[in-house]
Each structure stands twice: as structure tokens, then as C-alpha cells.
Structure 1
Amino acid sequence: MPNTEYDSVLGAGYDTDVLVAGGGPAGLASAVYAARAGFSVLVCEPRTAPVDKACGEGIMPGGVRGLAELGVRPVGMAFSGIEYADLAGRRVRTSFSAGPGLGVRRTELHTALVRAAKEAGAQWSPARVTHVAQDANGVTVAGVRARWLIAADGLHSPVRRHLGIPVRRGAPARFGLRRHWQLAPWTDAVEVTWGQHAEAYVTPVGPDQVGVAVLYRRPLTPSPYVPEAPDTYTALLRGFPELAERLAGAPAASAVRGAGPLRQCPQRRVQGRILLVGDAAGYEDALTGEGVSLAVAQARAAVDALLAGAPGGYEQRWRRLTRRYRLLTRGLVMATAVAPVRGLLLPCCAAAPGVFRRTVDQLAR
């Protein structure tokens, strides 16, 4: 994207061209793209940097390339591929064809993205965006008048809720918990162990630290939060005896963080001059690890739509960008929710290594 395609018109009663609600990866990537395109940008983020979040922290090769395009190269631990294991001790592994992925602490990624956004010229506000007023010419948030609003405020987006956009959540309801452990990585791949009702993801994030995330199913609850996170995390780890043994005696390097229910399918991503980006725009599951790749791609698509003066075009572009992710991820979640199919996953991968490799390469794009 050229750096200065847009002529800012702040003299026409606007305080900023683009207001970004939410300072996570999707919001900050949007801020970088918008500022480099010539828009004036204000990021509204009440949390103090660096902001942490429950996530697997394994960035796929496509996400690494997307971040590099933004000039963002966070410090982390390269990983060469994916290794699947099950409780019977079976293992199957394949390497990425598109280059390595990167295990990065979320706080390190956030710090690098904040730096890039500020260097591009984005400004900051500690305002929390929960209510929005818009008309045919602009959007007003907390007394700030903007031409456009990019809402990148997460899985349970307050802006999306305020706009009244219907959201389908569906089943199975899945949640995620993550903690870091002070322990040298024992593999140069992301290790995924399939249990009876959950998966454990081990990601190397430093020479002496791993992140261990667990995705699991439980009935839908009215609250998106996981108040029993530490106890639940400990109980879930007991379901992975080999992993629990490796972690025994290792000091915890962070608190347990939780998120869910993961599946959020908004009816639309554009309402007037407001565009939803990242998890706010829709989320299937963390199963395939494509969150950062998709966030960067959506950020660019949203800014392209604003440059064209046609925000409605973002909806169709979003559907094209995420179609493969939505179909593949949803198919895997539904299939592996059935116990017999879940038990066949590793034997099938081992029996058809070419298919397994091509599937992983699809995820790594």
C-alpha cells in the first residue's frame, strides 16, 4: 500500500480521520496501515501497554510475513512446524514449506506493534469506547469527531454490542486457558496433544520459556469470563499426564488467563462508517492458530476500503479473506467433537502424510 494516498481533511470539523477502538494486534495493524496511507489516526485504548491476552502465541508463517510488512519483527522463538500427539503416545509431525513460524509472548508482540503505530504517526487516547454516535458524514466517540471508526475491540466487542449487530455463537462452546512456564523448550515445533475432551498447545516463546494453552468444551454460560480459571487449568492439565510430568517442578512464569466462548459469528462487519476488524469481526476457534495472520489481513482490507471511500466493500473482502479459515476451522471443530473421529485424527495423519503436510501448509499461509 502506498504511504500517502489520502489527503486528510481535518479542517472540515473532524478531530481525526480514523478512530481505532481497541489497541490489540488488529487495532494496531489498522492504525499502522491507516497512518501510512496518509490518514490521521487516534487509537482509543484504556489499558496500559503492554497488553496481555489469553492466546496460543504461535504465529504462523503467514502472520510472520504480515507483521514484517508492517515493519514489526518481535523477539521470539522460531518454530519449524506442527507436531500432533495423543494420549496413546502416538506422534506425527510435519514442517512448514513457507518458512518458520514464531512463538512470541503476547506482551512482546503488543510492544512491537505499539512502537510501529506510534512511529507511523498514530496518536493515543485512554478513552474506553462503549457508545458511538454516527451520521452520514462521521462518527462521534467520547467527544471526538472522526470520519471513520475501526472497531477492533475483541471477541466480545462493546462497539458491536452497542450497534446491536446480531451474533450467532452456536455449539460446541469452547474456551481457552493459557499459562507460561519457566522451562527450556523440548521441541522446535508447536506441540498439540489431543485429549479426550481438550487439546493442549505447547509453544516455545523463548530459550527458557514455553506457553501452554488448553482449549476445552463446556456448556454455554451467560458470562464470557472464566472465573475459575486457575483451578480449571490445573484440572485440565491432569488430563495430559506426559505434559503434566514435564511441567512438574517448573515455576509458573505468568498467571492463568482465559477467554471464551470462542465462536462469535456477527451478522455483518460494516454499519455505516463503522468497520469491525479482528476478533470483533468474527471468530471461529483458536484451533488453527491463524489469529494474527487474519488480523493483519483484515486491517489492510479495512483501510483499503476507507481509501476507496467504499466501506461497504470491506464486507465482501472480509468474507473472501476468511473463507478458508472459517470452513476448515469449523469443519475440524465439529468433526473432532465426535469422540470416535477425534481418536482417528493421528492415525489418519500418519497414514496420509502428504495430506497432513498440505493441510498444515494451508494453515501456515
Structure 2
Amino acid sequence: MSTSISRRKAGEDAEVIVVGAGPAGSTAATYLARAGLDVLLLEKSTFPREKVCGDGLTPRGVKQLIDLGIDTREEAGWLHNKGLRVVGGGVTLELDWPDLASFPPYGVVRTRQDFDEMLARTAQRAGARLAEQTTVIGAVTDERTGRIVGVTAKAGPDKTPVTYRAPIILACDGVSARLALSVGMEKIDARPMGVAVRRYYASPRSKDDYLESHLELWDRSDPANPVLLPGYGWIFGMGDGTVNVGLGMLSTSKAYGKTDYRKLMRSWLDGTPEEWGFREHNALGKIGGAGLPMGFNRTPHYRDGLLLVGDAGGMVNPFNGEGIGYAMESARLAAECVIQAMARREGPARERALAGYPLALRQSLGSYYRLGNVFSKLIGNPVVMRTATKYGMPRETLMKLVLKLLAGLYDQKDGDAFDRVITAATRLAPTVK
């Protein structure tokens, strides 16, 4: 617990308010509290809580956990995997995660119900004050300056109206981005969105050394007339007798928004081998769905005291749909800028530090996401996707390069030839703003 003298002014409830205790919010709150700041973390639900997700993290996400001080060993309850199994075009490839200086050589799987609570408790142990059952409705704006100085919320089971004030607010409220919308920060429709649905099944495929990705979804319920479905699928063993199975689709696909995703998933799974167990009688719970805001689809990431972090700022990787690692990455960058800002007097000097957040995001991910946004448009065309799968999948060396690109797993300094190709491509691409 911090023993530093609070910088709170009269009428303020914290030095920083973090809205949402998902991976972005809890990560930011942990770093801020460790730096001695008085942090109020507001969460609409109560822990443990479920969240629709693939539950898998690539090595890029694992690095964020390690940076945060989380024990990611298997002895600490994490199921490790050593790579990605890609299925498509009649080919199955097992691609190990690359051996890099920048990222660990393993991915992990853990349910979001467990994962999110663990991160929230980490923030509490660092000194953040967590208020559960607190649904933030909108921002409080200073009429004189236009600056965002607090939030309105409904707290507790009786939804009591309450207002909290602080000089800096972090919007980590996910795809709904309610806080950003309350001040007119709309999403950018030209940038990709994804939709994902998932369900748990009791299955003998629960323990797997690889995350499995299906580039083609086939409805083989009529063996004489198999039908290629839009989207991509995943099969992630959870190690506890269950499997997380799901599918995703990009907004660049013509089928986006016109598809019954739950029916689509059942059609795909009914065509998988019976022995895998992906049938109704083995299902655990309902099919859940979630939106995936990609490629910085809501900007500016900082304005008038409000920082957009994680899904609220469109941090999902447009190459592969991964969100957790990038939410935590953006949270770390946001926290660094807020810590610097709060060490300065209110006014222009503090604003310059806060303006460093969108700049840091662009330097870290802007060019890479620009490439990803182009990629998502290309693969939204089924002809391009089928052609790429048909001619790319049989070429293992090419697929190793593709894995590095899609998962953002490359060393920017002193890397191999593939790393140098990806680094050069990101340097040439204009950054996303």
C-alpha cells in the first residue's frame, strides 16, 4: 500500500479514476498504484465474472503478464502451449512460437473468469481501491474548460446515483466504450470490427500443446455437399477436460452483420469428427458473443483528461483478433504517461505528458496496425482468402513468416531475416492515427 502524500484536491475522490476492471483497467491500475498514485478502479459487475473470449494468449500477451509481475509458470495454474496449429486448404501445419529476445517462447490459456479476477486482485494488492457493482454512465465535464473531471455512475445492487471526480480518467470500459461515447467520441467505421462467438465443450481434446486455428470453416452435415462458411475458427484446449471453441468474422466480409453466428458455429461443429465431442450434449453453457474493435477504431486516444485504453480505443490486433495482450500493452503505456503527468503541476506541462500517450501508441503499434487494417480488407474477400490458403499453407517457411507477422512476434533489433522483413514493412507503412 502506498504511503505517499495524496495530490487529491478538495472535492476529488482519487488522483486517477480507471473505468473497467478488465485486463486493460486492472493493468493500468496496478502500475499507477505501484507508482504511489491514489487510484479508484470502477467495475460494473462483481468478481468472479465470465467474459466471452478465446482464453488464449500468444507470447506477446504473456510478456505483458510477466512485465506486470504475474507468475506464468504452469505450477501457478497456467496451461502452456508451444505454438499454433493452422488448418486449411487440406493442410495441417504445427508452427512453434518463434525463439526471440523480445517475447517468451510459449503462449498460455486460462479462463477469463479466473484471469480477470486475478488481475483485479493484483491491482488491489498494489493499492488501487476497487469498487465493484459500479456502472459508469458518462463523463462529468467542466463547463468552463471542457475538461473531463469525473464520471457519473450507478452503484450497488440498488443502483444508487453517484459521482466520482479526479483530474485524469482512464476509459477501460471495453467494446461498449460508453464513457467515450458520452463525450461524442464515435468509432471510425472505415476501420475493421470483428465479431466472435464461443462455447465450452467437454472434450478429449482438452490438453493440447498447440492453439488450433481453422482458416476454413466447413459445414459437412451433408457429406455429399460440403459448404464453405465465412470466418475462421479456433479450438483451444483448457487443460481441465474442456475446450474453448469459437469462430470470428471480420466487418470486411460481406457476410458480416447478415449472419446468424450461433447457427454458423453449430453448422461448423456438426461437421467436425464425433470423437472430438463438439455436440450439443457435451456443451457447457450457452454460446456467447462479443465485438472485437480493431486497428485503433476509436480516436483520439487522449483528449481533455480522458485516455482510451484497450478495447475502448480499438486495440484488438486486426491481423489475428487478439485483444488481451494489446489491452495490457496500451494500459502500460497509458500508466507511464499518467505517472509522468501527475509528477507535474496542472497545466501545459501536465498536458504535454498526457499527449505522449497517443504518440507512444502510434510508435508502438501504429504502422503495424496500418498493415493489419489493409490485411483485414484483403482477407475479407473470400476469393483472396481461399487463394492465400491454397497456395500459402503448403509452404511452411512462408507460414513461419506469416505467423510472426500475424501474432506481432518479431525482434525489431538484431532479429532474423523474417524479423527484418516485418520491421522494414512496418517502417514503410504510414502510422494509424
Which interval holds the TM-score relative to the shorter structure?
0.7 to 0.9
2:50 is aligned with 1:52? yes
* CA pair 184-69 structure 1, distance change in 2 beyond 3 A: farther
Identity of aligned residues (%): 25
| Residue of structure 2 in register with 1:329 after alignment | 372
Match of 1:124 among 122, 126, 130: 130
Partner amino acid for 1:169? D
**Contact 1:58/1:101, CA 8 A, preserved across alignment:** yes
Cα 1:171–1:64 shift into 2, 3 Å: closer
Q: What SS does the corresponding residue of 1:119 show, helix, strand or coil?
A: helix
Answer 1 or 2: higher relative contact order, Cα 8 Å, separation at least 6.
1
> CA 1:354/1:162 → structure 2, altered by over 3 Å: closer, same or farther?
same
Matched, 1:167 2:187: yes
In structure 2, the CA distance between the partners of 1:248 and 1:210, relative to structure 1 (3 Å rule), is closer
Q: TM-score, with normalisation over the residues of structure 2?
A: 0.74
Q: Distance in 1 between matches of 2:274 and 2:25?
A: 36
User: Superposition pairs for residues 40-189 of structure 1, below 5 Å?
Assistant: 40-73=38-71, 75-86=77-88, 88-97=89-98, 98-125=104-131, 126-135=133-142, 139-142=149-152, 143-170=163-190, 174-185=194-205, 187-189=208-210
CA distance in 2, matches of 1:279, 1:244: 36
Task: Give the Cα–Cα distance (whole angstroms) in 2 for the partners of residues 111 and 339 of structure 1.
Answer: 39
Match of 1:355 in 2: 398
Paired with 1:261 and 1:292, the residues of 2 have a C-alpha distance of 11
Do the aligned partners of residues 248 and 258 (structure 1) sit closer, same or farther apart at CA in structure 2, a change above 3 Å counting?
closer
In 2, Cα distance between equivalents of 1:154 and 1:267? 14
Bigger radius of gyration among the two? 2
CA distance in 2: counterparts of 1:187 and 1:131, whole angstroms? 43
Cα distance in 2 for partners of 1:243, 1:176 equals 22
Q: Take 1:208 and 1:335, find their aligned partners in 2: how far apart are those partners?
A: 37
**Alignment of 1:267 onto 2:302:** no
Matched, 1:247 2:277: yes
> Does the 8 Å contact 1:266/1:282 carry over to 2?
yes
* Contact 1:297–1:321 (CA under 8 A) maintained in structure 2: no
The secondary structure found in structure 2 opposite 1:290 is coil
Equivalent position of 1:200 in the other structure: 233
Deviation of 1:220 after TM superposition, in Å, equals 4.0
Question: Deviations 1:253-301 (Å, cap 9, x if unpaired)?
Answer: 2321101364471131111111000000114566525312211111111
Per-residue CA distance 1:77-130 (angstroms, 9 max, x = gap):
2111111112x5311221012411001111111121012011111112232112
**AA at the equivalent of 1:10:** R
CA offsets 1:174-204 (integer angstroms, 9 cap, x no match): 4210111111336311111122312111112
1:257 aligns to what SS in structure 2?
strand
CA contact (8 A) 1:66 1:297 kept: yes
Amino acid across the alignment from 1:340: V
Is the CA contact (8 Å cut-off) linking 2:318 and 2:373 kept in structure 1?
no
User: The residue matched to 2:182 in structure 1 has which SS?
Assistant: helix
Alpha carbons of structure 1 residues 277 and 127: separation in structure 2 relative to 1, 3 Å? same
Q: TM-score, normalised by structure 1?
A: 0.87
1:32 aligned partner? 30
Pairwise CA distance, 1:157: 0.5
CA shift for structure 1 position 242? 2.8
Q: What CA distance in whole angstroms lies between the structure 2 residues aligned with 1:206 and 1:18? A: 38
Unaligned runs of 5+ in 2: 99-103, 153-162, 217-227, 342-352, 410-433
Distance 2:174 2:192 in 1: 20
Distance (whole Å) between structure 2 residues aligned to residue 338 and residue 242 of structure 1: 25
Aligned equivalent of 2:289, options 235, 255, 258: 258
Tell me, what secondary structure is at the counterpart of 2:195? strand
Change (3 A) 1:339 1:107: same
What is the alpha-carbon distance in structure 2 between the residues aligned to residue 287 and residue 209 of structure 1?
27
| Secondary structure of 1:176 counterpart | strand
Does the CA contact (< 8 Å) of 2:2 and 2:127 recur in 1?
Answer: no
**Alpha-carbon distance in 1 for matches of 2:285, 2:71:** 23
Q: Per-residue CA shift, 1:314-335, capped at 9, x if unaligned?
A: 1111122222542343233222
2:211 paired with 1:190: yes
Question: What CA RMSD, in Å, does the superposition of the two structures yield over aligned residues?
Answer: 2.8
Query: Does the residue aligned with 2:284 lie in a helix, a strand or coil?
Result: coil
Paired residues in the alignment total 355
Give the conservation status (yes or no) of the 8 Å contact 2:33–2:127: yes
Distance in 1, matches of 2:130 and 2:171, equals: 15
Give the conservation status (yes or no) of the 8 Å contact 1:72–1:112.
no
Structure 1 spans left out of the alignment, 5+ residues? none
